[in-house]
């Protein structure tokens, strides 16, 4: 410490004392890590991070991700001390601090901008929501991939529009979680040299010392992943930290891991309970002793010396404001030289769509044999991707099956030697794929990822976070039911639809034919704050004759009348999504021939339907018609809302079986005859 400038140490201790005081005031939180890593975060922000506090959404800013979200006071302290300004959802700068001292005083309290774990969109300057360990570092890989792709797409000689770095601060818990290892493996394979993880090697978790559960040689593991690994033996050594960050900047062929050794039980010399220091407030007496050890006023709370604010203004403030100003000056010249690319850059950053984004869409004529949902989606996706250059994505090793490969000229593959490709290969890494898609979306490209619906379980935590952050990630899932057939119950999704529908803010779309697929994609592309799960069939679906039945444009409203009585009021409602809609249409025709007044309602998206006005919902599913049959090759959970307590739900109450599709449909009752019988039973019960 003796060799460090006084202002450096004063700033570091300000971060530490703010963290202690905030956790103590909340009587909740994790002060230890924030105190231990204060020198690391201070040095990174003050001397290296290209981040303008006056414009926290500047496109070419460096990204800082606090993957150890429980140490959130580290980030809130930096947002406050550097004077980061608030920005609203319309990208308007509000002229007020993102995090005020009052917010810090209300740490973990209702409506404070300092919640227990950092939340994107709630607090300006927070690049991603973190909390579940491993998610932050995995998300940072997506940010780095997006940055590299944007550099290849937008940069021109003399116009370096993108070249940002991504820093992620991780802990032992992050290193244990599988998602971080999936993501690290892919990052090394892709040679993402703009990515730097900082690993806080403090050997402490909630239960105690890591020796109980973790003995990995992390350095060797990351070297095997293809990372550059360097080490700092003491988190307080600013000179060694500087050397490590300079090493990252000089490494151009791989990502960098900086292993930093720290001691989590910072405080007075007699502090022994490392668990308390990690996961609980220190206590008033311990705080006084710790402040005395720092040479800090013992009874001062939430003290921020004026010279510390000035120090940050003259450091990160001046340095990054210059970088930002130069970038916008360069962008003005770029607009003159490359107007089309400049328009793309602006539209992408504002989540706008280019003119003609849906031109040349395929058309699908009525066809009894039809087309699989995945096949129709692949055709639409390839059209849209040619119209929207920043629509990029891939699959967890399943693009031949999910039909998500972009096959037009120039699409290319994103690889370690080509970061310009638009086809992403995530390997068999569903969880990392979801987190990486989140990072890409947070960087403003429009990403999609795909896999089988059954494997949505592997990526569900990241899907949940895309909804929590309100970012328009596109999750494409195929092989959506027992229609998978011979692959059997391990591959046949049953409860997954209900699980996805239960996530607040996630829109689930399960189209019934090729034209509903088109309309589903029209909905998806116009979303700005909602992620979507597009659920598609492996098997062919009859293409409905829209001159006879309702228009597929009804998909935009979530549910619509597909087939109806010729006049008057229906007697029975047949409700379905996806492949089961065709079964209901067949049943409808049989009932119609027998004089039964039936209505078929296609329900591709419950979420979109619930967003409609009450009178529209009533017009589609009249409350006065209580004879109802709901049909879906999935768990029945949730359907009672639409079928009613007396309605019949034909669904799955067990796991599936290994057999050809038609045999499975007969076994489990997914046939027009069974639907007709259920409709008649409903009518008889009503009488």
Distances (CA, A) of 663 to 11, 440, 482, 668: 71, 42, 10, 9
pLDDT tops 90 at residue 551: yes
Tokens of 169: 């601060």
> Quick one: average pLDDT of 152-157?
98
pLDDT at 28: 87
Q: Angle, to 10 degrees, between the axis of helix 430-442 and the axis of helix 135-154? A: 50
pLDDT tops 90 at residue 238: yes
pLDDT at 206: 66
pLDDT at 325: 97
> Quick one: average pLDDT of 451-476?
97
> Quick one: average pLDDT of 539-566?
97
Q: Distance (Å, rounded) from C-alpha 449 to C-alpha 396?
A: 7
Instruction: Kindly write down the DSSP assignment for every residue of 562-610, as one continuous string.
Output: EE--SSS--SEEEEE-TTHHHHHHHHHHHHHHTT--EEEEE-S-HHHHH
pLDDT tops 80 at residue 136: yes
Classify 136 as helix, strand or coil: helix
pLDDT at 267: 41
> Quick one: average pLDDT of 252-280?
65
> Quick one: average pLDDT of 477-486?
93
- Answer whether 538's CB lies under 8 Å from 450's CB: no
Nearest to 73 by CA among 43, 48, 36: 36
Instruction: Kindly write down the DSSP assignment for every residue of 79-115, as one continuous string.
Output: HHHTTPEEE-TTS-EEEEESS-HHHHHTTTSTT-S--
DSSP state of 378: H
User: Buried b vs exposed e over 253-271: b needs ≥16 C-beta within 10 Å?
Assistant: ebbbbbbbbbbbbbbbeeb
% the chain with pLDDT above 70? 96
Place of tokens 């403090």: 202
| All structural domains of the chain | 6-324 (3.40.50.970), 367-542 (3.40.50.970), 557-686 (3.40.50.920)
* Residues contacting residue 684 through CB under 8 Å, at least 6 positions apart: none
% the chain with pLDDT above 90? 90
Tokens of 448: 């999609």
Q: Distance (Å, rounded) from C-alpha 386 to C-alpha 389?
A: 6
pLDDT tops 90 at residue 114: yes
Q: What are phi and psi of 25, to 5 degrees?
A: -65, -35
- Answer whether 479's CB lies under 8 Å from 513's CB: no
> Quick one: average pLDDT of 179-195?
98
Q: Distance (Å, rounded) from C-alpha 483 to C-alpha 463?
A: 24
Work out the burial of residue 492: count CB atoms within 10 Å of its CB; fewer than 13 is exposed, 13-18 middle, 19 or more buried: buried
Catalytic residues: 430
**Sign of CA pseudo-dihedral 65, 66, 72, 74:** negative
- Answer whether 16's CB lies under 8 Å from 294's CB: yes
Q: Distance (Å, rounded) from C-alpha 460 to C-alpha 480?
A: 16
Tokens of 251: 């490494």
pLDDT tops 90 at residue 94: no
Nearest to 562 by CA among 598, 591, 596: 598
Q: For the CA atoms of the chain, what is the radius of gyration?
A: 28
pLDDT in tens, 406-439: 999 999 999 999 999 999 999 999 999 999 999 9
pLDDT tops 50 at residue 505: yes
Q: Distance (Å, rounded) from C-alpha 92 to C-alpha 13?
A: 33
pLDDT in tens, 646-672: 999 999 999 999 999 999 999 999 999
Classify 159 as helix, strand or coil: strand
pLDDT in tens, 283-309: 999 999 999 999 999 999 999 999 999
> Quick one: average pLDDT of 519-542?
97
Lowest mean pLDDT among 177-181, 187-191, 322-326, 683-687: 683-687
pLDDT in tens, 579-612: 999 999 999 999 999 999 999 999 999 999 999 9
Place of tokens 């529908």: 501
Tokens of 191: 């040679």
pLDDT at 1: 38
103: left (phi over 0), alpha (psi -120 to 50) or beta: alpha
pLDDT tops 70 at residue 330: yes
> Quick one: average pLDDT of 321-329?
97
Per-state percent for the chain, helix, strand, coil, to nearest 5: 45, 15, 40
pLDDT at 264: 64
* Residues contacting residue 102 through CB under 8 Å, at least 6 positions apart: none
pLDDT at 211: 77
Q: Angle, to 10 degrees, between the axis of helix 178-190 and the axis of helix 430-442? A: 70
Dump strand ranges (E) for 2-71.
63-66
For residue 459, the Cα-to-chain-centroid distance in whole angstroms is 10
Nearest to 553 by CA among 515, 606, 505: 515
For residue 625, the Cα-to-chain-centroid distance in whole angstroms is 40
Whole-number average pLDDT of the chain: 94
Helix H or strand E encompassing 145: helix 135-154
Q: Angle, to 10 degrees, between the axis of helix 178-190 and the axis of helix 218-225? A: 40
Helix extents (H) in 194-269: 218-225, 238-249
């Amino acid at each position: 410490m003796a060799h460090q400038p006084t202002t450096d140490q004063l700033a570091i201790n300000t971060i530490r004392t703010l963290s202690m005081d905030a956790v103590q005031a909340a009587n909740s939180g994790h002060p230890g890590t924030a105190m231990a890593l204060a020198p690391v975060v201070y040095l990174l922000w003050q001397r290296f991070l290209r981040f303008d506090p006056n414009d926290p959404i500047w496109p070419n800013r460096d990204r800082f991700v606090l993957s150890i979200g429980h140490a959130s006071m580290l980030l809130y302290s930096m947002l406050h001390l550097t004077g980061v300004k608030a920005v609203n959802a319309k990208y308007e700068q509000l002229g007020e601090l993102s995090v005020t001292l009052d917010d810090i005083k209300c740490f973990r309290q209702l409506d404070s901008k300092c919640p227990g774990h950092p939340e994107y969109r709630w607090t300006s300057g927070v690049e991603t929501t973190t909390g579940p360990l491993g998610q932050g570092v995995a998300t940072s890989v997506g940010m780095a991939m997006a940055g590299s792709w944007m550099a290849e797409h937008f940069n021109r000689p003399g116009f370096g529009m993108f070249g940002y770095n991504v820093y992620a601060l991780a802990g032992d818990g992050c290193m244990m979680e599988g998602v971080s290892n999936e993501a690290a493996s892919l990052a090394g394979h892709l040679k993402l040299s703009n990515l730097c993880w900082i690993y806080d090697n403090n050997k402490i978790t909630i239960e105690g010392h890591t020796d109980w559960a973790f003995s990995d040689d992390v350095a060797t593991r990351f070297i095997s992943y293809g990372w550059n690994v360097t080490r700092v033996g003491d988190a307080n050594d600013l000179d060694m930290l500087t050397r490590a960050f300079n090493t990252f900047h000089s490494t151009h062929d791989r990502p960098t891991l900086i292993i930093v050794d720290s001691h989590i039980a910072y405080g007075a010399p007699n502090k022994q309970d490392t668990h308390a220091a990690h996961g609980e407030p220190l206590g008033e007496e311990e705080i006084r002793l710790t402040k005395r050890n720092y040479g800090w006023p013992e009874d001062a709370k939430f003290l921020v010396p004026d010279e510390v604010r000035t120090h940050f203004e003259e450091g990160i403030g001046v340095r990054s404001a210059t970088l930002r100003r130069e970038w916008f000056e360069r962008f003005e010249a770029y607009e003159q030289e490359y107007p089309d690319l400049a328009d793309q850059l602006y539209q992408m950053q504002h989540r706008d769509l280019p003119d003609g984004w849906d031109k040349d869409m395929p058309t699908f004529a009525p066809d009894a044999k039809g087309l699989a949902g995945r096949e129709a989606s692949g055709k639409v996706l390839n059209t849209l991707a040619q119209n929207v250059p920043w629509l990029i994505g891939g699959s967890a090793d399943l693009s031949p099956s999910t039909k998500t490969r972009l096959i037009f000229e120039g699409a290319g593959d994103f690889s370690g030697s080509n970061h310009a490709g638009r086809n992403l290969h995530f390997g068999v890494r569903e969880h990392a794929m979801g987190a990486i898609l989140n990072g890409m979306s947070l960087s403003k490209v429009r990403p999609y990822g795909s896999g089988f619906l059954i494997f949505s379980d592997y990526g569900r935590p990241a899907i949940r976070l895309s909804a929590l952050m309100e970012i328009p990630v596109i999750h494409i899932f195929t092989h959506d039911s027992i229609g998978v057939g011979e692959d059997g119950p391990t591959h046949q999704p049953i409860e997954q639809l209900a699980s996805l529908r239960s996530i607040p803010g996630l829109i689930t779309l399960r189209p019934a034919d090729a034209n509903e697929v088109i309309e589903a994609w029209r909905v998806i592309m116009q979303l700005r704050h909602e992620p979507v799960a597009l659920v598609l069939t492996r098997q062919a679906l009859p293409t409905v004759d829209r001159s006879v039945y309702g228009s597929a444009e009804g998909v935009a409203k979530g549910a619509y009348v597909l087939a109806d009585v010729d006049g008057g009021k229906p007697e029975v409602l047949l409700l379905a999504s996806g492949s089961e809609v065709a079964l209901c249409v067949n049943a409808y025709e049989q009932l119609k021939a027998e004089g039964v007044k039936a209505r078929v309602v296609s329900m591709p998206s419950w979420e979109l339907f619930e967003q409609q006005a009450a009178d529209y919902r009533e017009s589609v599913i009249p409350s006065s018609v209580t004879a109802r049959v709901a049909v879906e090759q999935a768990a029945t959970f949730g359907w009672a809302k639409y079928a009613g307590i007396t309605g019949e739900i034909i669904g799955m109450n067990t796991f599936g079986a290994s057999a050809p599709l038609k045999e499975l449909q007969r076994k489990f009752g997914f046939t027009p005859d069974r639907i007709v019988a259920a409709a008649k039973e409903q009518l008889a019960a009503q009488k």
